[in-house]
Structure 1
């Protein structure tokens, strides 16, 4: 293991509801987060060191068995946040999980857990992500993981290529939530009564959609290779 003994194969995911204190009925938050946890636990069941669970009423924590899955969860959480009408701060924490078989969200501990919540705090202060409904930040306090590079890639994908205008951002949202729709159907859904396909093509060309998709794969591959190096 050598100098990599401060990094485990697991990665902690945590996310926090934006403005949770302003909700008149906190139970609404709990219901929405409970649904998100259930969907994530079903999809990633085979890869969970600790299931996704609600913590402190307005945040969620879970631990996955591989780095790249953390980014896949982020992509899923973006979609689920849209569906549940939530804005979130999302943190990925690299490091260790020091509490063995413990699964209680209030008792699990280790540097990856601490770093995930530190990442949330960094995301809260990142105004460059002001148009992103799920602000992202990854963090590692050991200096081993190049988390700045990961954050830069994700920033470019979801803050530069996901649309700089409300119309472009709406297009990305419709496409992400409805991957089965044709461009004609997407245009109609967005209110284009005439030349729907042509208008969608124009919007897509301005959002660099192909690069938007390719760079997501680049982040996934980077995390996968990082974990391979650390083994």
Structure 2
């Protein structure tokens, strides 16, 4: 077992658009974000305790019943919003207020405190201009700090890998992550040869990236809310 949690633990996710004030078509980006979050709410309805919703124009949040699909949701938002970059704070802990399925605004408790701590940590790292600062951070209450450090180290390494991708590598890797099928299938969708797919996956460290994502997913999957 990775984590030790009470059965009232949830996963709170706070997302924040990076350098939002520099975006020229800000209103269009916000409209797109609203649409993407609505799609997430529909697709992952059974795993969501409170729907993802925009809270402060450039920030959004949602509450998950468990950690099972946390990384899938983050990755899907990241892919659909690209090239807009988003930082994600993920917090595991109790929610002390009533949980409203339709709206996560107003929810409170250690889960959200930890997600906020994670977002603020990422912002501070960016202000310090740290090289390859991570764009996802995980925080938790309780006696799980060794595993938390491990997860955040992996998340930082994933950011290093992502930052090394060419545009083509990113397209092919994200296609593989979304469809979860074969290199031959990817080649058909891109109308290229299978060896070209293999070359891009290899140079982009796809299999290392996927295995690291799976490791984080398995760790977070052990976190369960009291209604799961």
When the two structures are superposed, what TM-score results if normalisation uses the length of structure 2? 0.77
- Deviation of 1:207 after TM superposition, in Å, equals 2.9
Greater alpha carbon shift after TM alignment, 102-111 vs 8-17: 102-111
1:34–1:226 CA distance, 2 compared to 1 (3 A): closer
Within-5 A mapping of 1:117-156: 117-124=116-123, 125=125, 127-129=130-132, 135-144=135-144, 146-156=147-157
Aligned-residue CA RMSD (Å)? 3.0
Task: Specify the structure having the higher radius of gyration (Cα).
Answer: 1
Structure 2 partner of 1:87: 85
- Deviation of 1:107 after TM superposition, in Å, equals 1.7
Post-superposition Cα deviations, 1:94-117, rounded to whole Å, max 9, x if no partner, equal: 111111134654421111112112
- Is 2:52 the counterpart of 1:63? no
Structure 2 partner of 1:192: none
Question: 2:25 & 2:202 partners in 1: Cα distance?
Answer: 42
RCO higher in 1 or 2 (8 Å CA, sep ≥ 6)?
2
- Deviation of 1:223 after TM superposition, in Å, equals 1.8
CA contact (8 A) 2:173 2:206 kept: no
- Deviation of 1:58 after TM superposition, in Å, equals 1.1
CA contact (8 A) 1:12 1:94 kept: yes
Post-superposition Cα deviations, 1:155-206, rounded to whole Å, max 9, x if no partner, equal: 333423x462x43x53133331474753376475xxxxxxx55444333323
CA contact (8 A) 1:13 1:61 kept: yes
- Is 2:149 the counterpart of 1:159? no
Question: 2:186 & 2:105 partners in 1: Cα distance?
Answer: 45
Structure 2 partner of 1:191: none
